Amino acid sequence: MIATKPSTDYSVQIVPALQRIQHEFGYLKREGLEEAARDLDVPLHRLQAVASFFPHFRLSPPKKIVLSVCRDMACHMAGAQGIMDELRPVLGENVGVRGVSCLGRCDRAPAACVGITGEEHDHYHLGRSTGELKEIVEAYLRGEVPAPDLDADRGYGNETFVINPYGRDEPKYGAILKAISVRDKALGEATRILASKPGWSPMRIEQFRSAVLDRLEKRPGLGARPHAGGLVRYNFAGAEGG
Ligand code: FES
């Protein structure tokens, strides 16, 4: 018997189809899945297999608010499991609490984000205690929108990193650390000025701050920024990468 490889033409269409259903209903409603299975001419179980693989997809109607807490290593070490255990029983039936994989903010562990049904974007809250997260979620339930935690508002101190190969007392790195300090000060001042101007939301300021850092990364000497597991990444010739 000659084994034939199953057609994969439909496979690239499954994720977009699931996204459309979730966008329309807020979750993967059974009727939507059945219709997509007919349209794509694939068995329903293939759609369900993809849907259950990606944590992004919801298989049941969403709660009004979903608090996603990262449970990967950095956040686990920072008490993510305890946060979930404490908050699950006290936040009420309109709030779902779930553990998720790395949210990409290991440097601000524990990282959490709040999703509001009907809203496209999640709100990140970083380095918060259980009590603070509870207050934040309760504010969302009251219809308020607590300010997200942005890097523009919170500096990085060298002393907060356990691994710091560029210690302040190391003369070899004195010049670059000073340059970074001047850069961060100027950037902090710029973001403070923008915050006082109309039309500059915290999100837009964060985009500005990030764009400046990206631009500087392409220039030698000033492209250092904090990241998880170490202190900084340098682009200048002769220095170490992080
Ligand atoms: S480990 Fe939690 S954000 Fe990366």
Q: Tell me, yes or no, whether 81 and 136 share the same domain.
A: yes
**Residue 125 identity:** H
| Pocket flag, ligand 1, residue 108 (CB < 6 Å) | no
| Cβ atoms of 91 and 106 closer than 8 Å | no
Q: Tell me, yes or no, whether 115 and 168 share the same domain.
A: no
| First CA to last CA distance, the chain | 54
Range of the domain at 45: 11-53
Task: Output the pLDDT for position 54.
Answer: 83
Q: Tell me, yes or no, whether 144 and 166 share the same domain.
A: no
C-beta neighbour count of 59 within 10 angstroms:
13
DSSP code string of 18-30: HHHHHHHHSS--H
Task: Match 């973001």 to its residue by tokens.
Answer: 191
Q: Tell me, yes or no, whether 242 and 220 share the same domain.
A: yes
Specify the ligand 1 atom closest to the Cα of 71: 2
| Pocket flag, ligand 1, residue 42 (CB < 6 Å) | no
Q: Tell me, yes or no, whether 141 and 160 share the same domain.
A: no
**Residue 233 identity:** R
Cα–Cα dist 25/89, whole Å: 27
Specify the ligand 1 atom closest to the Cα of 80: 2
| Pocket flag, ligand 1, residue 78 (CB < 6 Å) | no
Give the Å distance between the CA of 196 and the centre of ligand 1: 32
Give the Å distance between the CA of 106 and the centre of ligand 1: 4
To test the pocket of ligand 1, the residue of 68, 102, 108 to mutate (highest count of ligand atoms within 8 Å of its CB) is 102
Q: Tell me, yes or no, whether 131 and 104 share the same domain.
A: yes
| Pocket flag, ligand 1, residue 195 (CB < 6 Å) | no
Q: Which two tokens stand for residue 20?
A: 């459309």
Per-residue tens of pLDDT for the chain, all 242 residues = 444 444 556 667 899 999 999 888 888 999 999 999 999 999 999 999 999 888 778 888 888 999 999 999 999 999 999 999 999 999 988 999 999 999 999 989 999 999 888 777 889 999 999 999 999 999 999 999 898 888 767 766 555 556 666 665 667 777 877 888 888 888 888 988 988 888 888 778 888 888 888 888 776 555 445 443 333 443 333 333 33
Give the Å distance between the CA of 213 and the centre of ligand 1: 22
Looking at the whole model, is its pTM more than 0.75? Answer: no
Task: Output the pLDDT for position 240.
Answer: 35
DSSP code string of 164-195: -TT-TT-GGGHHHHHHHHHHHHHHHHHHHHHH
Cα–Cα dist 70/76, whole Å: 8
Cα–Cα dist 203/96, whole Å: 25
Q: Tell me, yes or no, whether 89 and 46 share the same domain.
A: no
Task: Output the pLDDT for position 181.
Answer: 83
Which H helix or E strand runs over 239? Answer: none
Task: Please say which residue of 132, 149, 166 terminates a domain.
Answer: 149
Residue 228 lies inside a defined structural domain of this protein: yes
> Looking at residue 207, what DSSP letter applies?
H
Residue 3 lies inside a defined structural domain of this protein: no
Task: Output the pLDDT for position 162.
Answer: 60
Q: Tell me, yes or no, whether 217 and 198 share the same domain.
A: yes
Task: Output the pLDDT for position 171.
Answer: 72
| Pocket flag, ligand 1, residue 73 (CB < 6 Å) | yes
Task: Output the pLDDT for position 242.
Answer: 33
| Pocket flag, ligand 1, residue 105 (CB < 6 Å) | yes
Residue 25 lies inside a defined structural domain of this protein: yes
Task: Please say which residue of 131, 149, 167 terminates a domain.
Answer: 149
Residue 5 lies inside a defined structural domain of this protein: no
Cα–Cα dist 231/161, whole Å: 7
Residue 140: which CATH number?
Answer: 3.40.30.10
Strands of 82-204, DSSP E: 95-100, 111-116, 123-126
| Cβ atoms of 114 and 140 closer than 8 Å | yes
| Pocket flag, ligand 1, residue 109 (CB < 6 Å) | yes
Q: Tell me, yes or no, whether 198 and 210 share the same domain.
A: yes
Which residue, among 81, 229, 108, has the nearest Cα to 165 in the 3D structure? 229
Task: Output the pLDDT for position 3.
Answer: 45
Task: Output the pLDDT for position 207.
Answer: 85
Q: Tell me, yes or no, whether 93 and 36 share the same domain.
A: no
Residue 240 lies inside a defined structural domain of this protein: yes
Q: Tell me, yes or no, whether 239 and 179 share the same domain.
A: yes
Cα–Cα dist 12/50, whole Å: 11
| Pocket flag, ligand 1, residue 75 (CB < 6 Å) | yes
In the chain, how many domains are there? Answer: 3
Give the Å distance between the CA of 197 and the centre of ligand 1: 33
Task: Please say which residue of 149, 179, 213 terminates a domain.
Answer: 149
Give the Å distance between the CA of 111 and the centre of ligand 1: 6
Task: Output the pLDDT for position 188.
Answer: 86
